[in-house]
Structure 1
Amino acid sequence: MPRFLVVTLGLAAVCVILLFVQGIQDIVAPIFLGLNLMIVVYPLQRALSRVMHRYLASVVSLLVVLAVLVSFVWACVWAVIELINALPQYNAQFLALWKTLTELGVQLGLDASQVNKVISEIKPNDVMGLLVPILGNLSAVGSLLATLVMATFFLAMDSSSMGSRLKLLRVVQPRALVVVSDFSNGVRRYWLVTTVFGLIVALADVAALSIIGVPLVWVWGVLSFITNYIPNIGFVIGVVPPALLALLSGGWVQALVVIAVYCVLNFVIQVIIQPKFTGESVGVTPTISFLSLLFWVFILGPLGALLALPATLLLKAFLIDSDPNARWLNLFVASSPDSALPDDEQPAPRNPRKARKDRERKALLRG
């Protein structure tokens, strides 16, 4: 078959598969998130299996994942409750701000009737109304968490035999073992590094907001930690609520100070420092990172914002890295041109131990 026809049929098949995945996103997204969590804790499970039965090690790893999920959900619920309790006292400030904005809109030439129509639809007479969309999705969140917990349970049980499966894969398809290992290492490093730097960013934001005098600093710290998992636009999502509350409680100057401090802290930590620890195994160009965010939100829904980079790594591993003829695409995907080179063209490491691992890796790739 002509190569053009092969590429066209392949792209058509990928589009059909992705549309199917989009139709069952409520199932696929939590299962893929559970898979990511089990990949992160698998080194712990493998270490425990040396001193206890492998099934018991699987149970321990499952409990670790569930503890992380419970802590994450508890922090989110606590932040929402604190926000619900605190927002009513800012109703007067919110109404005054809204009145000022509407008057400004009329002065800029907007039709007064259109402005009144917008006001009637948004109903700004109660600042608590801003939380209605969040509270209305609790049932959907509960269903997602239930699917996530069940998927994690079965993945944990299957992981008890993963070591034997990987040994057989080394014999049957050595190149596939390299691809799976690269994907697992990249996902593991991404989640660990993002979590550590998310905590650093959150604590830095809490300290800065405390100095500025913005209320609910720990609520905004939790929000900053969560939005750190969203590439590119997570910072923007995290800065809007504390800046708005600073505007209500302290005026325009305090709000501008909050925005400036967030910009400096997040730029230094997330743009300059964090990529150095993420590594080339996770690195993609900023354009690919942003496009992957838009793409996976469309395919997987809201969870796609958290899973954008791991899902992109999955496609990259199985569609590009596994095919020697497609490795040239890495030149336009990888953040570092050196990491886009085929393994046979990579310079040999100077460290003897790394050199030995490099020779073993190349032997696996050659089959």
Structure 2
Amino acid sequence: MTEQRRIPRALVVLLCAAGAVVTLAGIREAGSIIGPVLLALVLVLAVSPVRTWLERRGAPGWTLVAAPLTLVLLLLLSLIAVLALSAAQLTTLASTYGQQFDQFVVQVQQFAERLGIGGKEVNQAIRTLDPGKVFGLVSGFASGLLGVFSSLVIIVIVVLAMCLDARAVTRILSSDMARERSELVGALGDFAHNTRRYLIVSTVFGLICSVLDAIALWVLGVPLPILWGVLALFTNYVPNIGFVIGLIPPALLGLLQGGPKTMILVIVCYIAINFVIQSLIQPKFLGDAVGLSTTVTMMSLLLWAFVLGPLGALLAIPLSLLVRALLVDSDPRGQWAAAFISGRAPQDAVAKAPPDGPGPSNKPAKPS
């Protein structure tokens, strides 16, 4: 009996890493096309329950396409309007508070001299907090997203095509042929369900956080509280570091407008609101929808932001869920990888089915 030759594991790892690098480099080069397509996919998944609801009530075929497409268009136009207004206001704000920041620098220098601290080191540290750079960073984030939404024609065409093909795709995934690829069908169904759940829960709690943040900033007298509330809503989709991005501009404005006391109050309010809602309440509603450990979530944020820019930061979780569905969940041998990705032990390794109980079902998961 001849011994089967096996490819060395190190070579397999190197080939997979090289393939991943080439694929991600290609996605980055074609980001102006792939980014809008991925955004269109996420938007179609978000509004697909509307199509399902209409189909169950026997609505005409054209409404199954028109209703989701109209919702996506309204959402895109609203986001474009908000981003354009935010970018314009941030540009104006950066020039308005330049003189006040210079006065603040002088006061800090005088205070440092009374404490016997060298002026050169203080100047270098303070200049790194230039409000123009901070507002420019946030404005660049909004402008980057606005650049993606400027490809509105591509997004609308792709959304229209996906809406037209939705019924055919559903029939294919529900057919007997799908039994041969039951793991892949189930993985794609879980991806669609988990993505919708993530978007809905993140949007609801993001709205709650943004409203409370805007009210707190209005009470504290920080300029443009509605703008910073909208920024808090957008940054809620950015995992782990989104809260910090949304906090820096209003905290700096509070420092320039009302002094250190106002800045400290802004930081305390943001921490109290976002910690209670995003760290204590929101995870209970999300549950296992994300299925990504903290380390994987942070790495996916860095990776997708590098590949697709600001849009990649916003869609980091859905894109990572898609990659997991295609490469891990669709492979029965990938349970050990899924355990590392989610940070949880595989369920079937902990609890076994009873001897006389029914065996595992080969029926593919019902697609969403």
- Taking structure 1 as reference, are residues 346 and 75 closer, same or farther at Cα in structure 2, changes over 3 Å only? farther
* Counterpart residue number, 1:313: 321
Quote the offset at 1:363 in angstroms.
Answer: 2.5
Match of 1:164 among 151, 154, 171: 171
* Counterpart residue number, 1:149: 156
Q: Deviations over 1:64-106 (max 9, x none)?
A: 1111111222222333444556665534313312444677899
- Residues 222 and 250, structure 2, Cα contact 8 Å, conserved in 1: yes
- Taking structure 1 as reference, are residues 227 and 104 closer, same or farther at Cα in structure 2, changes over 3 Å only? farther
More helix by share: 1
Letter in 2 for 1:265: I
- Residues 65 and 160, structure 2, Cα contact 8 Å, conserved in 1: no
Match of 2:83 among 76, 81, 92: 76
Structure 1 unaligned runs (5+)?
Answer: 349-358
Letter in 2 for 1:364: K
- Taking structure 1 as reference, are residues 346 and 228 closer, same or farther at Cα in structure 2, changes over 3 Å only? farther
- Taking structure 1 as reference, are residues 240 and 361 closer, same or farther at Cα in structure 2, changes over 3 Å only? farther
Q: Deviations over 1:36-63 (max 9, x none)?
A: 1101111211221232233431121011
Quote the offset at 1:108 in angstroms.
Answer: 5.0
- Residues 344 and 362, structure 1, Cα contact 8 Å, conserved in 2: no
- Taking structure 1 as reference, are residues 203 and 41 closer, same or farther at Cα in structure 2, changes over 3 Å only? same
SS in 2 for 1:363: coil
Mean CA deviation greater in 68-77 or 264-273: 68-77
Percent of aligned pairs sharing the same letter? 35
Mean CA deviation greater in 27-36 or 3-12: 3-12
Mean CA deviation greater in 187-196 or 211-220: 211-220
Quote the offset at 1:326 in angstroms.
Answer: 1.7
* Counterpart residue number, 2:3: none
Give the Cα–Cα distance (whole angstroms) in 2 for the partners of residues 69 and 365 of structure 1: 34
Q: Deviations over 1:210-262 (max 9, x none)?
A: 22222211111111111111111110010111111111110111001101111
Give the Cα–Cα distance (whole angstroms) in 1 for the partners of residues 364 and 64 of structure 2: 31
* Counterpart residue number, 1:273: 281
Alignment length (residue pairs): 350
Mean CA deviation greater in 133-142 or 19-28: 133-142
- Residues 206 and 217, structure 1, Cα contact 8 Å, conserved in 2: yes
- Taking structure 1 as reference, are residues 360 and 195 closer, same or farther at Cα in structure 2, changes over 3 Å only? farther
Letter in 1 for 2:223: P
Q: Deviations over 1:284-333 (max 9, x none)?
A: 21111111101111122221101111111111112111112221122222
* Counterpart residue number, 2:7: 2
Give the Cα–Cα distance (whole angstroms) in 1 for the partners of residues 109 and 138 of structure 2: 22
Give the Cα–Cα distance (whole angstroms) in 2 for the partners of residues 189 and 241 of structure 1: 30
SS in 2 for 1:289: helix
- Taking structure 1 as reference, are residues 275 and 261 closer, same or farther at Cα in structure 2, changes over 3 Å only? same
Structure 2 unaligned runs (5+)?
Answer: 1-5
Quote the offset at 1:16 in angstroms.
Answer: 1.7
Letter in 1 for 2:192: S
Letter in 2 for 1:31: V
Mean CA deviation greater in 51-60 or 36-45: 51-60
* Counterpart residue number, 1:283: 291
Letter in 1 for 2:182: P
Coordinate RMSD, CA, aligned: 3.5
